[in-house]
Every structure is written in C-alpha cells, then in structure tokens.
C-alpha cells in the first residue's frame, strides 16, 4: 500500500510514528545545561536513548542519570575528545541523531581582540563544530542515514558592536551545515541547524540584574520575552524526527521573530502618508 491507497487510519498512524524516536540513539554534546540539556530531555521524551556529553562532568552525569543514558566528559573544542565520543557511540550500535550545542562569545570591540581570544572563539564555535560534524557525518554516511543538528544564532545575520567574531563563527557554521548537507544527501543523511535568538539560561542570570538591558533585548522579539531552552529543544527534536525527513541544509529560526522585523515592535498604529 502507499499514501494514495492507504486508508485514513493508516495515514494518521504514519503521522504519529513520524514523531516517535523509540529505538533510536541520539548523541547530544552540551547536555549539562541550557539548550543542550533541554535537547537531550526532548529527544528522550520522544523515546530516544540519549548519550550525553559535556565538558562539565558533574553536570552531564546528572543529565544522563535523569534520562537513563550514558555520560561522557568531552571538550567540544578538542578533536581527539570528539573522535573518542564518536567511537564510543558507534560501539553501542547505530547513531541516528547527533546534536551539538556548545559555543562561547567574548563581547569586545573588533580592534581590541587579541589573537588568543580570536582563536578561542573560532576554536570552539567553528572548529569544534567541524570536528563534530565530520566525526558523526562519517558514521552516518557509512550506516546510510541519520540526522545531524548544530546550533547557530541570529548573530549569523544580525549583529551589534562587540559580537563580530562570534557572528562570523555562526555564519560559518551555517555554511558548514549547508555544505555537508549537499554532500551527504545521497547517503540519506540530513544536516540542519537551529537558530535561536535570546534564550533564558543560567548564563544570562547576571544580565537580569540589569533589567534595562534584559528587557530591551526581550523587546526585540515580537513576543517581548526571552525564550526558554525547551522552546529551542523542541525544534531540535523536530529536526531529529522522521517528520522532518525532507528538511536538510536548513537554518531553522527559533528566534521569536527577531530576524523577521526591522527593530523592536513599536506598537504604533498611525497611517503614514506622503
């Protein structure tokens, strides 16, 4: 039977199954906190067995214990660590989903950046993602399928002073995703990125002490609020599912309208006339 001849019950069942990750294995790098932790939880909630990895050993062990998964201490900027994670995951069987979330930025004027600061940002945000996509891309190519998901940022396309280097790495990440998607499609491997804007994680707690800045950033979205990590994680889970089987090479905005509007919503209703 096919979609043209299936009865409605069979078609509805197929839709439900397309969101089910039961029996699949996922690797989440950055699972100790924030978007990575929420992504691990979302994938587990849909039935996946999740291998959790993070530089924060205590944090990743807590996440893994809560989800009944394995934990690995991994430096996301270290090629050897990522290669070892890929080997360990492959030894457990098929790797259906691989997600990477770690990133960092140093808010500093371009002309004041040191060579070391530049290398640290690029080393984690771009080289680290390259290592991850290469390692797990090889596994998925050889097994004939899988879903790779990286984490970009609205700063790949919209910037403010002090974020030029961070934004450049995120723009580069988007192109890594597109390029790899073009090469692995023939092997039934999908490669995508999620693109958050402002996410309320533990890292931004100090910013809440400066409500004039915290609220100004919130006002740049059409919802006038920061996102929760789970709101980005559900997009990750969607891209991991068969429901997204025809989506690849995409940078999926999960930004509250940040990149859809030209500045904060004004609330003005006047009609402009020449």
Which residues are part of the catalytic machinery? Answer: 166
Please tell me what DSSP assigns to residue 202: G
Q: Report the alpha-carbon angle 206-154-249, nearest 5.
A: 135
Please tell me what DSSP assigns to residue 56: -
Residues contacting 152, CB < 8 A, separation 6+: 170, 173, 174, 177, 193, 194, 195, 251
Residues contacting 122, CB < 8 A, separation 6+: 165, 169
Contact 181, 247 (CB under 8 A): no
Find where tokens 């690995």 sit. 72
Contact 132, 28 (CB under 8 A): no
- Please, what's the largest Cα pairwise distance for the chain? 68
Q: What's the rounded Cα separation, in Å, for the pair 239 and 232?
A: 11
């Amino acid at each position: 039977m096919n979609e043209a001849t299936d009865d409605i019950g069979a078609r509805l069942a197929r839709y439900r199954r397309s969101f089910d990750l039961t029996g699949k294995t996922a690797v989440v790098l950055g699972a100790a906190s924030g978007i990575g932790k929420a992504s691990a939880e979302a994938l587990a909630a849909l039935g996946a067995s999740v291998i959790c990895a993070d530089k924060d050993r205590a944090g990743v062990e807590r996440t893994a214990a809560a989800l009944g998964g394995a934990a690995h201490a991994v430096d996301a900027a270290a090629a050897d660590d990522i290669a070892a994670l890929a080997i360990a995951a492959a030894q457990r069987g098929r790797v259906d989903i691989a997600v990477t979330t770690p990133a960092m930025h140093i808010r500093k004027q371009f002309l004041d950046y040191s060579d070391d600061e530049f290398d640290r940002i690029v080393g984690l945000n771009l080289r680290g993602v390259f290592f991850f996509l290469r390692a797990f891309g090889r596994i998925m190519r050889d097994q004939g399928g899988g879903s790779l998901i990286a984490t970009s940022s609205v700063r790949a396309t919209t910037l403010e002073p002090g974020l030029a280097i961070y934004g450049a790495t995120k723009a580069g990440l988007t192109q890594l995703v597109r390029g790899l998607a073009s090469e692995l499609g023939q092997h039934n491997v999908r490669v995508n990125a999620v693109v958050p804007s402002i996410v309320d994680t533990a890292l931004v707690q100090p910013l809440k002490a400066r409500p004039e800045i915290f609220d100004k950033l919130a006002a740049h979205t059409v919802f006038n609020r920061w996102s929760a990590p789970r709101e980005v994680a559900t997009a990750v889970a969607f891209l991991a599912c068969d429901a997204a089987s025809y989506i690849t090479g995409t940078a999926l905005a999960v930004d509250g309208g940040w990149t859809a509007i030209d500045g904060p919503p004004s609330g003005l209703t006047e009609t402009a006339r020449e």
